[in-house]
Chains A and B, each alone.
Chain A
């Protein structure tokens, strides 16, 4: 009960009515506010919107289902997130020098980015030299991987691989471990790019093998890793691609959850036990600058996933219900104009991810809208995480926004919107069929266009782009360092020499076995990829063999 100035007790309803009157008098016509996912946003939230007493069961405590407040009891107060910066430029030796520097600065996990020629499934001797190493490191063989990770103890440092189907980079890393005598059981990390559906829909560069083959190889990969690499996460379900391509935060979350359901069903159909493979499922998301919406997105998703894993997928072990995720700050929000402003954007995005309860974080460099990130930009990106953690003390309290009328209401509303989109996909026959039919791509394209129109019309402010523009001195922008052409040429020469000198019989036998595995459902294609890597086969040879047998990964052109 509140007291009015004259001491009379006022009821909650009267207090609220007074505020409503004052608000209306001061605002005139209220402005309509809608977040990116289409949820209408009120001027204030109270216990009328979200009542803690009634809703305690939907929150639980951290580490307890349904995990709304976090998947571990101690969350960031106990163990902070992994600082996993994606880096990669030039030759394996150049990458290695940069990697050791990033580790010395405080990064705790590794995630090499291969060159786009690698992503498309080609070797360096079949690529434009102008492009080699400009966006990632050229890694075509076990020796390249060994050189790239020189000085990194694979039994100690978690090393994620950005490695679409058929997972050649992990194969090269396993072959490297074998050479060095490192026990595969000690190797930890994640196949960051195992989600072929998100590649087909949104990140087309990573889509190498036609849908049915990609589906089969993923299941083989999960089966192989569960068996031989107990600390490896073979499945990373990716929401980042769809949101970067234009899906709203709720749509992107819905597509990701539907993809996870699809992949889990495929594993179950193979006879695998959900309680064996689900604890090794991880997720990877975009964090946009829509601060509260992103926090609510992650909180809602944890709750939805716990229900799906238990009720739909039949997992009994609570570890299978945990929604573990890596997040990357959104590059789409960054601007070329006044690029240093991007540091503040990345800070807000990172805060949203941290308050949303992430397990691992990549902060973008401020110069990503200008070029592949410079060393200078990458250093600030890491410092941003250190500042948020150790100066701003964001990790002192678990789920600090839990119980906020706004955040809890928004969490409920985002959940409803995510579930609405999931229903559309499930009614289309699940994610695989919805994607095959182009349904998901159409929804993403429509949302991308709507957002662009809002920016064009000025309805959505983008500082420095459609508002607060200033004349800029472009000389203040960072200058790109391109890979040294001479060292790239000598890497090509070495690569050609390597191919000429290796045992051609071993290579041919391994590629033949790989081709046979593609046609034999009882065999494990990924196991054969690992054997091929150990026999000296190159990345391109492995991809070409599987594309020949299982079809080239072409995507639908939908505008």
Chain B
């Protein structure tokens, strides 16, 4: 994709857990990779994430989960669809057991990044998602 296109990414956490090393490292990494990053502290309400995604017009939402908060990501996916934001790609990073990964993918999550993922892989996938999303929007 054209490197001049700057992906806009929301990096956040929903649910109760507050371990934010992952979200902070990824947010800083994507910013270092030249992206525009909206970062929030943990514990965002699903409605708040939807609102932020709308207002900031992001290409990708990255949800970090360490302690089972990924279990409410399907609720986030429905809320995004209801708000007409189905074209925003959602990725999840963190501790996600295999059996839950299948559930998340079925709910519309683009991909799950597990511990040990390289920053470069996350960044290049976000660029891919952004390119695909923007061309869909142009087509629409």
Contact partner, B95, options A371, A474, A554, Cβ 8 Å: A371
**B98-A120 in contact (CB<8A):** no
Encode contact with B along A87-123: 1 for CB under 8 Å, 0 otherwise. Answer: 0000000000000000000000000000111011010
Evaluate contact between A452 and B29: CB separation under 8 angstroms: yes
Contact residues in A for B17 (Cβ distance below 8 Å): 116, 135, 205
Rounded to whole angstroms, the CA-CA distance of A449 and B16 in the bound complex is: 24
Cβ-based interface call for B18 (8 A): yes
Separation of A445 and B25 alpha carbons in the complex (Å): 8
Name 13 A/B residue pairs within 8 A (Cβ), A-sorted: A115-B16, A128-B72, A130-B75, A131-B68, A134-B67, A134-B68, A204-B42, A205-B17, A205-B19, A456-B118, A477-B97, A477-B98, A479-B99
Report how many A-B pairs have Cβ atoms within 8 Å.
113
Given A131-B68, A335-B116, A371-B97 in contact, is the A205-B27 Cβ separation under 8 Å? no
Q: Mask for B41-79, Cβ within 8 A of A = 1, else 0?
A: 111000000000000000000000001110110010000
Interchain CA distance A556-B39 in the complex, whole Å = 11
A465 contacts B42, C-beta separation under 8 Å = no
* B114 lies within 8 A of chain A by Cβ: yes
With most chain A CB atoms within 10 A of its CB, the pick from B16, B31, B68, B75 is B16
At the interface, yes or no: B15 with Cβ under 8 Å from chain A? yes
Does chain B have a CB within 8 A of A559? yes
Q: How large is the interface on A (under 10, 10 to 19, 20 to 34, 35 or more residues)?
A: 35 or more
Which residues of chain B are near A557, meaning CB under 8 Å? 39-41
For A479, the chain B residues whose CB sits under 8 A away are 97, 99
Proximity string of chain B (101-139) to chain A, C-beta cutoff 8 Å, 1 when within and 0 when not: 000000000000011101110000000000000000000
B67 / chain A contacts, CB cutoff of 8 Å: 116, 134-135, 372
Q: Do A462 and B43 touch across chains, with their CB atoms under 8 A apart?
A: no
CB proximity of B58 to chain A, nearest CB, Å: 16
Among A131, A207, A370, A559, contact of B24 (Cβ-Cβ < 8 Å): A559
A246 to B19 CA separation, bound complex (whole angstroms): 11
Which one, B15, B19, B29, B95, contacts A128 given CB within 8 A?
A: B15
Task: Say yes or no: A203-B18 contact (C-beta < 8 A), given A335-B116, A465-B116, A557-B41.
Answer: yes
Q: Taking the complex as formed, is A480 at the interface, i.e. its CB lies under 8 A from any CB of chain B?
A: yes
Is A127 a contact partner of B98 (Cβ separation < 8 A)? Answer: no
Contact partners of A337 in chain B: CB under 8 A? 116
Set of chain A residues within 8 Å of B36, measured between Cβ atoms: none
With A336-B114, A337-B116, A465-B116 known as contacts, the answer to whether A116 contacts B16 (CB < 8 A) is yes
- Say if the beta carbon of A555 comes within 8 Å of chain B: yes
Check A127–B95 contact: CB distance below 8 A: no
Q: What residues of chain B lie closer than 8 Å to A122, measured between beta carbons?
A: 16
CB contact under 8 A between A116 and B15, given known A131-B68, A135-B67, A370-B95: yes
From A127, A207, A452, A456, give the contact of B16 (CB < 8 A): A127
User: CB of B85 within 8 A of chain A?
Assistant: no
